[in-house]
């Protein structure tokens, strides 16, 4: 029987996941479907029965469902527990399992593009859900020093305490760039329709990597400024593509290759 998975969100029309998984389903000639399913946050308690009634074997969760689903799951993998969010649901032997591939997605993209990176110091801007996954991802990758800087300092402090890393005042973020190997923007600044993230990069070492998790636009003002100063850059599309790899494998049984074509197709959708 054809296997069905979907992305659940509110709203969900903007999601690139149906294009991404649809491409792999075709590439590997798999009899499956991947749809977009809009579920109102008020109905989050019913996500699992809704999926079952529609014969889904798996789903991706986007905000705000990622954190709220916890109380409805008895099987949650270690990485999802550590991050405090589930982005993959899989029905196995009649039971729903939750896992998280966001940290994996960021790590895999970083390792692919910058296998030679130094892992002494990273500065993460923001303290929301994405910062949580990336902080965990960088810790597991072995970064020695991780600093979280956020407009609302208490949120950075809270997250930093949770992961035993450091926090810093938003006004001091530029000073924190000294000696950094990696700078990551996880705030919504730079996203289409939002103000740009304007940073003075003069204290960032020349061999540092500048990453943005925003992928619309692909070239954020931050990445453009970093490129102009000849830093290595990583855009947000890579994390989106790599986080989908374990999900596709879990539902459809094939671990997909991340090739240039898949990027091109998604890039075209963003234009
Ligand atoms: P996500 O789960 O995708 O990370 P989020 O939880 O809404 O999204 O987090 C958005 C992040 O962008 C937060 O760190 C937020 O800072 P606050 O905690 O102070 O709200 C940050 N952010 C949003 N708008 C910002 C702005 N104008 N200046 C600085 N940071 C901003």
For all residues of the chain together, what is the average pLDDT? 96
Question: What is the residue with the minimal CA distance to atom 28 of ligand 1?
Answer: 151
pLDDT-derived band of residue 17, with 50, 70 and 90 as boundaries? very high
Of the chain, the percentage scoring pLDDT greater than 70 comes to 100
Residue 92 burial class via C-beta count within 10 angstroms: exposed 0-12, middle 13-18, buried 19 and up = exposed
At 271, the pLDDT band (50, 70, 90 cuts) reads confident
Whether the model clears a pTM of 0.75, i.e. scores above it, the answer is: yes
Mean pLDDT along residues 2-22: 95
Q: Which of 66, 90, 121, 173 is catalytic?
A: 66
| pLDDT at residue number 1 | 79
CB 128 less than 6 A from any atom of ligand 1: yes
**What's the CA-to-centroid distance between 159 and ligand 1, angstroms?**
13
CB of residue 158 inside a 6 A radius of ligand 1? no
Q: 108 near 132, Cβ under 8 Å?
A: no
Give 185 Cα–ligand 1 centroid separation in angstroms.
10
State whether the beta carbon of 187 lies less than 6 angstroms from ligand 1: yes
Residue 68: predicted pLDDT: 86
CA of 195 to the centre of ligand 1 (A): 12
Question: Which of 167, 187, 190, 243 best tests ligand 1's pocket when mutated (most atoms within 8 Å of CB)?
Answer: 187
Q: Is the CB of 155 under 6 A from ligand 1?
A: yes
- Based on the residue annotation, tell me whether 229 is a catalytic residue of this protein: no
Arithmetic mean of pLDDT, 115-143:
98
Peptide bond into 223 cis (omega under 30): no
Nearest to 183 by CA among 206, 152, 215: 206
Q: Which two tokens stand for residue 192?
A: 């289409």
Q: pLDDT value at position 148?
A: 98
Nearest atom of ligand 1 to the alpha carbon of 126: 14
**pLDDT at residue 64 above 80?**
no
pLDDT(65) > 90 = no
* 188 CB within 6 A, ligand 1: yes
Residue 114: what pLDDT? Answer: 98
In degrees to the nearest 10, what's the CA dihedral of 14, 17, 20, 26? -110
Give per-residue pLDDT as tens, 152-186.
999 999 999 999 999 999 999 999 999 999 999 99
Cα gap 5→252, rounded to integer Å:
9
- The reported pLDDT for the residue numbered 67 is 85
Give CA separation, 54 vs 20, 37, 59, 138, 190, in Å: 21, 11, 12, 37, 37
- Residue 5, helix vs strand vs coil: strand
Q: What is the pLDDT of residue 63?
A: 78
CB distance 151 to ligand 1 below 6 Å:
yes
pLDDT in tens, 207-223: 999 999 999 999 999 99
Between 154 and 40, name the one with better pLDDT.
154
Q: Is the Cβ–Cβ distance between 228 and 203 less than 8 Å?
A: no
């Amino acid at each position: 029987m054809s296997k069905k998975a979907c992305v659940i969100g509110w709203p969900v029309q903007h999601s690139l996941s149906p294009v991404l998984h649809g491409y792999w389903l075709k590439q590997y000639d798999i009899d499956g479907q991947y749809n977009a399913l809009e579920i109102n946050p008020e109905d989050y308690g019913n996500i699992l029965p809704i999926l079952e009634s529609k014969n889904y074997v798996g789903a991706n969760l986007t905000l705000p469902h990622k954190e709220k689903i916890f109380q409805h799951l008895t099987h949650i993998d270690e990485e999802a527990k550590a991050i405090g969010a589930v982005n993959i649901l899989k029905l196995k032997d009649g039971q729903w399992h939750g896992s998280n591939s966001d940290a994996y997605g960021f790590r895999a993209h970083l390792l692919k593009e910058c296998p030679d990176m130094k892992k002494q110091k990273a500065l993460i801007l923001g303290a929301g859900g994405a910062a949580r996954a990336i902080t965990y991802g960088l810790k597991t990758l072995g970064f020695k020093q991780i600093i979280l800087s956020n407009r609302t300092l208490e949120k950075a402090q809270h997250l930093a305490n949770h992961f035993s890393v450091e926090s810093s005042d938003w006004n001091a973020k530029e000073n924190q760039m000294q000696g950094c190997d990696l700078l990551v923007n996880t705030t919504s600044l730079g996203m289409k329709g939002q103000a740009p993230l304007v940073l003075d990069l003069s204290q960032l070492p020349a061999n540092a990597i500048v990453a943005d998790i925003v992928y619309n636009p692909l070239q954020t003002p931050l990445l453009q400024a970093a490129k102009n100063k000849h830093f290595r850059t990583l855009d947000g599309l890579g994390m989106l593509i790599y986080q989908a790899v374990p999900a596709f494998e879990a539902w459809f049984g094939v671990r997909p290759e991340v090739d240039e074509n898949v990027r091109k197709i998604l890039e075209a959708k963003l234009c």
